[in-house]
Structures are given as C-alpha cells and as structure tokens.
Amino acid sequence: MSARSRTNQLLYQAELLIETPVHDDEHYVTRQMAIEEGALALFELALESFLAEVTEHARLDTRRWQTLLAADGPELAELIRLRDLAGQPESWLGWLISALLKLHGDEGAAKRPINNPSMIALASEASFASSLYQSVQAAKKEMAALRETSHEW
C-alpha cells in the first residue's frame, strides 16, 4: 500500500468511527468517548502517514508530527505551510494538535457531557465528535492541495 493510500484509509476509518451510532444504554457515554478517542488516534496516524507522503522526496528519517511540525523542524515548503496552519488555533491542524496533546495527557481528549441543569449551554459549542469530523473534512481538502504541491517537486 502506498503512503497516499494509507493516509486515505486512515482518514476514512476515522470518519467511519465518528459516524458510528451509539446505542443509549448504561455504557453509552463511555462507548462514545472510546469512539471519539479512537477516531482521534486514527487521525493522528493519518497525519503522520501524510507527513511521510509529502516529505518522501526529502528522505527524512522520521514521520513523527511532533518533530516535523516543531519550530526547528526541517525547512521544507510543505512543512512550513503546515507549521503556519498549526499556529492557527481555529484551523483543523491547530485543533488537531490541541486535541492530540489532550489525548496523550492524563485527562484524555473526550469528555463526559456535563448534565447540570443549572448551567447555561453555549449554542456555539460543538460536540467533540462534530469538531473532529469537521477537522477531518478540512484536513482532506488541505491534504489534497499539499499533495499537488509536493507532486510538482
């Protein structure tokens, strides 16, 4: 399987998990959290697969996003573009990196819903699954553009 095929497969699998219906039973919340964190982990694998794909011509010895997207990472056009994107918290990559840091932390990325009737819900606050799905969709568009740039090289 090519790196491009693997990236696409991982993104598709993340989408499938996000869209998985969860039955309302005593394990509903835990199951939903597991699905969300599983999809996020697949998204991380897709990011690393994509980084390997667009840096293939440079023959780098790593595909770890933490290394390649670090400020002192390799000076490749695709990585510079992604670093700029990562610096924007509202971008898909900024959101993804923030979520991955939580995923790898002690608290995890998925959160239990707060069922406190005295709290005011924010209409603009999207669910984790919704934000994850939107980020995957935005990533697919950005990846297509970066693939074209990388292919030109």
Q: Taking a C-beta distance cutoff of 8 angstroms, is the pair 50, 56 a contact?
A: no
Question: What is the predicted pLDDT for the residue at 118?
Answer: 54
Q: How far is CA 111 from CA 127, 139, 151, in A?
A: 10, 23, 39
**Residue 135 pLDDT > 50:** yes
Q: Taking a C-beta distance cutoff of 8 angstroms, is the pair 22, 34 a contact?
A: no
Question: What is the predicted pLDDT for the residue at 3?
Answer: 85
pLDDT tens-digit readout, 83-131? 999 999 999 999 999 999 999 999 989 887 766 555 555 544 568 999 9
